[in-house]
Amino acid sequence: MQIKNRLINILSDYRYMVGLWVVLAVAASVQSLLSSPTVTPELVLMKYNNYVIFKSSFFHLLQGKDLYVAWPAEHWDLFKYSPAFAMFFGLFAWLPDWLGLTLWNLINALLLAWAVYLLPRLTPLQKGLVLLMVSVELMTSLQNEQSNGLVAGLLVMSFSMFEREKTAWAALCLVFSVFVKLFGVVGFVLFLFYPRKGRFILYSAVFALLFLLMPLVFIGIEQYEALMRSWVVMLANDHSASYGLSAMGIFHALTGVEGVKNSMVLVAAVVFLLPLSRLSSWHEARFRMLMLVSVLLWVVVFNHKAESPTFVIAFTGAALWYITSSRSGWETALFVAALLLTSLSPTDVFPAVVRREIIVPYALKALPCLLIWLVVVWEMAAPGKKNSVQAKQLK
């Protein structure tokens, strides 16, 4: 009993849980910095290649270069973010890599942790459990120097700001998320549940215009127009490149049918919006929380470019769903399946041959999150369904 109480006290104390995430961020950075680079005749490829891509984009912007073409002498893969994100990364690009990379990972971890702790109506224990549940996915994202922790944090924080009637901050979080990764636009559905809609639209327009115009500090209007055209072309070509670890990837692996991505996304979008027809439930805190969960899951499960580090976003949604559910037997079984297949499938918990021949080819990492999303939509949209789970806590 003493051990159990001690564990509960640790999980309920934000200092321990945030401290854990700081350790993860620093450890991931040290691991990347100390890993041996891959040397080719053309390039010395650092293990923190994604950070190098982000860092290089800032200097390319300063030099008036095209951000959206290959730079094989500097790094592999393409920069796929907005020009505003390239400008934002100037906060880190001037720093030595050991410091810039560590700060970048810390921001990704701490913004998401802060966003979780800002959530209303959850106990400190529930918030600590969410951080613990998401830790493996966070580490996967940090080890790849990705921006997914930042995006997840911005989406969750926008919800908290809405709940606190801080409309301008909610707008800033959502607009910034879009300029980091375009799928953040799905989060804008949250504003429908709150008052001051006109003010939110105005704030969003102002922030969007600000982010759009920021790169003009460094480049001329003609260069900027060319840059935006290049971005659009790159995104159009990138769309057809893969199915990712997504619902579309599962369908394609099972059937071999091509050309289904757009159709599946369209159907998924309709299903995603179905719960909005239950106007009488909009005032329920549980309903609004489930919409946040649906957003976090949808933007990954139906993302044709979803990869393992992206799932920190979806798994944040899965953890919030489970921690605020009734935690019945079948809900627990589904969440345990998510822990195994989504969080632990890339690790040595599964033999390499299983990962290589089954989990990756069939995109099984996405399957539990897809099932949880369907459960969430059913709970929100089913006729006569009451969103009364944890009612005392989520009113």
pLDDT in tens, 78-122: 899 999 999 999 999 999 999 999 999 999 999 999 999 999 999
pLDDT tens digits for 178-206? 999 999 999 999 999 999 999 999 999 99
pLDDT digits (tens, 9 = 90+) for 336-370: 999 999 999 888 788 888 888 888 888 899 999 99
Minimum mean pLDDT range among 20-24, 41-45, 105-109, 314-318: 41-45
* Residue 230: pLDDT over 50: yes
Q: Are 28 and 149 in contact (CB under 8 A)?
A: no
Segments making up each domain of the chain, as ranges? 1-236, 240-395
Taking each continuous run of H as one helix and of E as one strand, the counts in the chain are 19, 2
365 Cβ contact partners less than 8 Å away, ≥ 6 residues apart: 245, 308, 311, 341, 342, 345, 346, 359
CB 26 within 8 A of CB 102: yes
How high is the pLDDT of residue 373?
97
The pLDDT, as a whole number, for residue 355 is 86
Percent of the chain at pLDDT > 90 equals: 73
Higher pLDDT, 387 or 258: 258
What is the average pLDDT value for the chain, to the nearest integer? 91
How high is the pLDDT of residue 383? Answer: 62
Residues linked to residue 45 through DSSP beta bridges, in sequence order: 38
Q: Which residue has the higher pLDDT, 167 or 235?
A: 167
Count Cβ atoms within 10 A of the Cβ of residue 116 and give its class: 0-12 exposed, 13-18 middle, 19 or more buried. Answer: buried
8-12, 60-64, 75-79, 206-210, range with greatest mean pLDDT: 206-210
pLDDT at 93: 93
Alpha carbon 68 to its chain centroid, in Å, reads 22
In DSSP terms, 205 is beta-bridged to none
Under the banding of pLDDT at 50, 70 and 90, the label for residue 388 is very low
pLDDT at residue 385 is higher than 60: no
The token duo for 83 is: 């020009």
Cα→Cα distances 48→39, 105, 155, 252, 263, Å: 14, 11, 25, 31, 36
pLDDT tens digits, 290-303: 999 999 999 999 99
Predicted model pTM: 0.94
**CB under 8 Å, gap of 24 or more: what pairs does 326-330 form?**
326/389, 326/390
pLDDT > 60? residue 3: yes
Phi, psi of 39 (to 5 degrees): -105, 125
The amino acid present at 111, given as its one-letter code, is: L
pLDDT > 70: percent of the chain: 94
Among the listed residues 191, 124, 205, the one whose alpha carbon sits nearest the alpha carbon of residue 161: 191
Supply the pLDDT for residue 161: 97
**145 pLDDT higher than 70:** yes
Indicate the pLDDT class of residue 391, thresholds 50, 70 and 90. Answer: very low
Beta bridge partners of 39: 44
Residue 241's pLDDT band (cuts 50, 70, 90): low
Neighbour count for residue 65 (Cβ, 10 Å): 16
